[in-house]
Amino acid sequence: MRKVIYPGSFDPVTFGHIDIIKRARDLFDAVVVTVAVNPTKSPLFTVEERVHFIKESIKDFTNIQVDSFDGLVVDHAKSVGASGIIRGLRAISDFEFEFQMALMNRKLANDIATIFLMPHEKYTYLNSSIVRNLASLKGDISDFVPPIVQNALKKKFEGNN
Ligand code: ADP
């Protein structure tokens, strides 16, 4: 059984993340989407909210679990029995950071592979921070995030301006 984890901040989950989840699901037997607690970032949504948004957005998919963790990705991968880490690559700008992370993770755990997947071209410019900014300025985010996230962002920024 080939299990992989897909870690990230998912603050909030976008159609780009969901595209990668589908691609991973088509390649592996099981996918664990893991919301990482990153102490260097101050997220807009709590870990519980981020997990809930992902679960709701993929509730019709099979063989996918959603969880969260606070610690090293490779440790979490081992604890759930995953043999690989999925990361999405949008553009060359992602490459250097992802390359460093993948090599560091290999150094920490030689038996855990990092697998990069590319989303559909229409999501290559999409990231959570652009969506947060757009929502804060009351822009239309319906092409970028699932309905549950659209509503949560609208609520978050209600009354701004
Ligand atoms: P992180 O803070 O770990 O970068 P993100 O939630 O921003 O977390 O992203 C998690 C993973 O999903 C990363 O590998 C990132 O490159 C990938 N990703 C984010 N947005 C997209 C997108 N639009 N298309 C493909 N991959 C994406």
17 is catalytic: yes
pLDDT class of 161 with cuts at 50, 70, 90: low
User: What are the structural domains of the chain?
Assistant: 3-126 (3.40.50.620)
Q: If you compute the radius of gyration of the chain from its CA atoms, what whole number of angstroms results?
A: 16
The CA-CA-CA angle for residues 3, 5, 7, to 5°, reads: 175
Q: What is the pLDDT of residue 3?
A: 98
Does ligand 1 come within 6 angstroms of the Cβ of 126?
A: yes
Give 127 Cα–ligand 1 centroid separation in angstroms.
7
Does ligand 1 come within 6 angstroms of the Cβ of 10?
A: yes
- Give the C-alpha separation, 4 to 142, whole Å: 29
- Give the C-alpha separation, 116 to 129, whole Å: 21
126: alpha, beta or left? (left if phi > 0; alpha if psi -120 to 50)? beta
Q: What is the pLDDT of residue 85?
A: 98
Q: What is the pLDDT of residue 82?
A: 98
59 is catalytic: no
132 is catalytic: no
Q: Per-residue pLDDT tens for 25-59?
A: 999 999 999 999 987 889 999 999 999 999 999 99
Q: What is the pLDDT of residue 40?
A: 81
Does ligand 1 come within 6 angstroms of the Cβ of 127?
A: yes
23 is catalytic: no
Q: What is the pLDDT of residue 94?
A: 85
Q: Containing H/E element for 68?
A: strand 64-69
